[in-house]
Amino acid sequence: MRSKQLQPLIESAIMAALALIIDLLPSIQLGPWISMSFAMVPVFIVSFRWGFRYGVVSGLLWGLLQVVTGDVTFLHWFQFLVEYFVAFACVGFAGLFMNVIQRKFREGQKLAGLGFAVLAMFIGSVARYIWHYIAGIVFWGSYAPEGQPAWVYSLIVNGSAWLGSFLFCSFVMAFLLSASPRVLTVSRNQ
């Protein structure tokens, strides 16, 4: 394998491991199943550096690491696949904005670059949490309080977790990109 292909794969794996470590740290708990975490940040970094493909790879590896470490809760094999592989991989959708984000920072348009980065994180986090929301309706709906529809229950639980995590990640990434936009730069001289 050529080194041009190896570098993004290595970074994807390292950032997936970092995402897992961050995910294992105590997060801000808003309820029994609702927490705010910035664990998606490493996958967003890969997505902004290398694009959609490697962002998806990093997210997929993060989901796989969740499984390997036993940090999983599931009711059905299909829900397991959706919530730990499909959902985590979808964080990489933020990589669809890689070119515009890098261009804006390269041209010195930091505010526009940050705006596109927040938009990219919105897309990546929504792409992830939409799967958790669907799984919440289909598989976890029986845990809803009596009289509450499964879709409302899933919206409250997963919507709160999504909003908190999206805002937390946006804050962390805005700080990181403002302080060191070089995090977006890839050395392609290899």
Residue 56 lies in a domain: yes
Residue 127 lies in a domain: yes
Residue 53 lies in a domain: yes
Domain count, the chain: 1
Residue 22 lies in a domain: yes
Residue 189 lies in a domain: no
**Is the backbone of residue 15 left (phi > 0), alpha (psi -120 to 50) or beta?**
alpha
Using a cut of 0.85, tell me whether the model's pTM lies above it: yes
* Contacts of 94 by beta carbon, 8 Å cutoff, 6+ apart: 43, 44, 47, 48, 55, 120, 121, 123, 124, 125
Tens-digit pLDDT string for the chain (190 aa): 566 789 999 999 999 999 999 988 877 777 666 678 899 999 999 999 999 999 999 999 999 999 999 877 878 888 889 999 999 999 999 999 999 999 999 999 999 999 999 999 999 999 999 999 999 999 888 888 999 999 999 999 899 889 989 999 999 999 999 999 999 988 765 4
Residue 165 lies in a domain: yes
Query: Contact, 117 vs 177, CB < 8 A?
Result: yes
Residue 190 lies in a domain: no
Residue 41 lies in a domain: yes
- How many CB atoms are located within 10 Å of the residue 150 CB? 16
Q: Which domain CATH number covers 44?
A: 1.10.1760.20
Domain range holding 68? 3-26+36-184
